[in-house]
Amino acid sequence: MKVILYQPQIPQNAGNIVRTCAVTGCDLVMVHPLGFSVADRWLKRAGLDYWEGVNVSFVDDLAVYLAQQTTPFYFFSSHATKLYTDVPYTKDTQLIFGSETQGLDPFFAEKWPDHFVTVPMIAGVRCLNLATTVGIGVYEAWRQQQFIQSI
């Protein structure tokens, strides 16, 4: 599986997500621009020594990247209506998460509306933390694969 962070802004979240990727065998893709330097000490501190064990890559244009993909992908959004538990995940699925401050560009919902899922929340509450949401999504996808290691 791959976790894709669309224009992440907070280094501590990215560091925690690296840890989640490390312990679940996921690759991590970060879409530019990033709100921090990958050399940022907070990013390194949050990810501790997990950076070494995670395949991390960077892309400049998520739409171009996705247009070239043949594997399934899902966008996680608080604005979606389909539950994240109602879709099938495979070892090749890509899980896409928006920026902490801006979310996902509306273009993605217009182009791929059937690829949007949500984690349920109580009405009137803003949203979950990005790293928490990634953990929820990754572990559901991995659970559907019976926690088989793909490394």
Q: What is the pLDDT of residues 51-83, one digit of tens each?
A: 788 999 999 999 999 999 999 999 999 999 999
Q: What is the per-residue pLDDT across 132-147, written as a single tens digit (0 to 9) for each?
A: 999 999 999 999 999 9
The label of the residue with tokens 């088989």 reads 148
Residues 1-30: what's their mean pLDDT? 94
Q: State the number of CA atoms in the 13 A half-sphere of 126 facing the CB.
A: 6
Which CATH number does 2-144 carry? 3.40.1280.10
Any idea of the CA torsion for 114, 23, 99, 137, to the nearest 10 degrees? 30
Burial class of 106 by CB neighbour count within 10 A (0 to 12, 13 to 18, 19+): exposed
pTM: 0.93
76: which strand partners? 97, 117
